Structure 1
């Protein structure tokens, strides 16, 4: 296990975690952004499996949140406001009339403090951040830690921890776009995805939850037995059309914590297993991505990556019966998501 650190301009640091199996994970202290995950294909050829910019300067704007830590609240908050304990909190309208991914003062725009660690079986970097009350419109001073750990069995573990001195809204995630073809050789049309979910959240035309939870059964949202993402891209189902001919929806996981998602690419033989103790996730299939981004391997395009944003549901701020995102003062937020990379013949 190794850690290599490179100092960039603007007080940015790039940490490269590597193991002896050919897997590498590169992380910036800016935004806690994962810029590269290199894993071997079935023939042992190491290639990158996430979207990252060719020029690091592009992470300053980063309109599609490539690889970033998202907070305080991942997802859209309808009307850019919410009420908590009798008080109303107005947030930045960063997505039309709504608040998205913490707004322009979100965690993806911060330089985090860092601490490296390593042993014979793992290498990692702990990122920490203190967010003062009122900076982003949310209540409470917040201390956050996000830890990226690469293990010798090709797992990337992400541990989230946060404490607040005042009850607040919080749900954190990582916004990496995965593409298992390797070095962006193709789109994710043929990625086969399996999700442990029998319910998903209905969206309106502004991608805001309506308050209804729909059955996945009999729809292009039923991934319980596994299906190709192209099933949704080519579907006439209204919920796929609303999202731009794809997916940008919250899936509520069935059962307890554990293995919740698998994604595989038949051509490369790569398979990714997602384990989490989060109650659900947003799967986003880069439906609104165009050719304007210069990525490390090529220009961007629609359907070039898929995000598995494990998190609670911001819809719980407006509707009952959704996985909650309220962190009480004195409580500690602790969540974990693990991405493990395998190959299949």
Structure 2
């Protein structure tokens, strides 16, 4: 049975422990299936704000933020060792690539050449394929920045890996900033034309108690449109206004208020599992605000990306078997900043093509406050 990192007792202990001083520390986190050592790095702020990142999947394992009483708790779902990640828990906190989200039938055409990717989500390719970036061992090095403690992780994806063209060199940097802020930046270069869509798949639960569902959280999405999907969750190509639909989060709305509505899109996703078209124009801007009224914690997500995938934990079932989800139904939610799903097959969507000589760069910032 997997040992969940954030139990109520563990959270109390972690909150009491706090953080003695700012900086970056390293500890063993277990081994991969082929025996390679995995490391866990801790970025610590002077006030107790803390992030833990694993070299397996460049994964955000833990993130401690204060509630309205000043008590620190873990607001993401994670595990105490690398073992559950290696055994197949789906994407908890991981860096997703080479292409986040779905590509229809695992196929796309680039510069007149067709490519076939693994189909690991029904008929489609999901989150980079059978062995995406979330299942790869990254190298890591602490870096000095003017903003705070930082960790730079690097992975080189071989030409042809999971069917994608070009050798892709990827850097993901986590920076622990002042005012309870964690910044994630993504940089990549390629040796051949390819498609790239990097994101982070953290499951948030701002209560600090992973036993509590996230249905009472309030969510605001800075998006007037979303991309409707077919029954296999591939976008139809339409950019549909959210007004008058259960997808309208332009004002703070309780997540559970309409999640069971008689709506075809909600039935397709078994809840929310859709991409919203952000109103921002490519510069770093606020994309979402998540609030837990009971703890008073508020998370604001800012990004340079054109879209954000809100996933309401619909397939979480509390079972550790197989690629088990371990945590109970809807005890976590994801806010994945991204380009749109299946963009390589939709010329009208913002392009995800990266060519040699170009530099891919994306930023996402997680800022915490209380009210």
- The TM-score with structure 2 as length reference comes to 0.88
- Does 1:7 find its partner at 2:33? no
Contact 1:2–1:118 under 8 Å retained in 2:
no
- Does 1:247 find its partner at 2:263? no
Q: Pick the aligned partner of 2:158 from 132, 136, 153.
A: 132
Contact 2:152–2:172 under 8 Å retained in 1:
yes
Q: 5 Å matches for 1:319-338? A: 319-338=346-365
Partner in structure 1 of residue 100 of structure 2? 74
Partner in structure 1 of residue 128 of structure 2? 102
Q: Which moved more, 1:153-162 or 1:112-121?
A: 112-121
Q: Which moved more, 1:157-166 or 1:317-326?
A: 317-326
Q: 1-side partners of 2:258 and 2:111: how far apart? A: 40
Structure number with the higher strand fraction is 1
Offset, 1:328? 1.7
Q: 2-side partners of 1:317 and 1:119: how far apart? A: 35
Offset, 1:333? 0.2
Offset, 1:181? 0.6
Partner in structure 2 of residue 272 of structure 1? 299
Distance 1:320 1:314, change over 3 A: same
Q: Which moved more, 1:193-202 or 1:249-258?
A: 249-258
Q: 2-side partners of 1:120 and 1:80: how far apart? A: 42
Partner in structure 2 of residue 178 of structure 1? 204
Q: Pick the aligned partner of 2:66 from 40, 57, 72.
A: 40
Offset, 1:19? 0.6
Q: 5 Å matches for 1:280-295? A: 280-293=307-320
Offset, 1:215? 0.9
Q: Which moved more, 1:122-131 or 1:45-54?
A: 45-54
Q: Which moved more, 1:269-278 or 1:324-333?
A: 324-333
Q: 2-side partners of 1:199 and 1:277: how far apart? A: 17
Q: 2-side partners of 1:107 and 1:228: how far apart? A: 33
Distance 1:274 1:73, change over 3 A: same
Partner in structure 2 of residue 142 of structure 1? 168
Cα RMSD, aligned residues only = 1.6
Unaligned 5+ runs, structure 1: none
Q: Pick the aligned partner of 1:62 from 78, 88, 110.
A: 88
Q: How many residues are paired up?
A: 340
- Does 1:301 find its partner at 2:301? no
Contact 2:91–2:201 under 8 Å retained in 1:
yes
Q: Render the CA deviation track for 1:192-229: whole Å, top value 9, x for unaligned.
A: 11111011011111111122221100111111112111
Q: Pick the aligned partner of 2:345 from 301, 318, 321.
A: 318
Contact 1:116–1:126 under 8 Å retained in 2:
yes
- The TM-score with structure 1 as length reference comes to 0.95
Q: 1-side partners of 2:202 and 2:46: how far apart? A: 23
Q: 2-side partners of 1:37 and 1:83: how far apart? A: 39
- Does 1:84 find its partner at 2:110? yes
Q: 2-side partners of 1:119 and 1:314: how far apart? A: 33
Q: Which moved more, 1:267-276 or 1:212-221?
A: 212-221
Q: 2-side partners of 1:107 and 1:214: how far apart? A: 31
Unaligned 5+ runs, structure 2: 1-21, 32-36
Partner in structure 2 of residue 220 of structure 1? 246
Offset, 1:238? 1.4
Contact 2:211–2:331 under 8 Å retained in 1:
no
Q: 2-side partners of 1:232 and 1:205: how far apart? A: 19
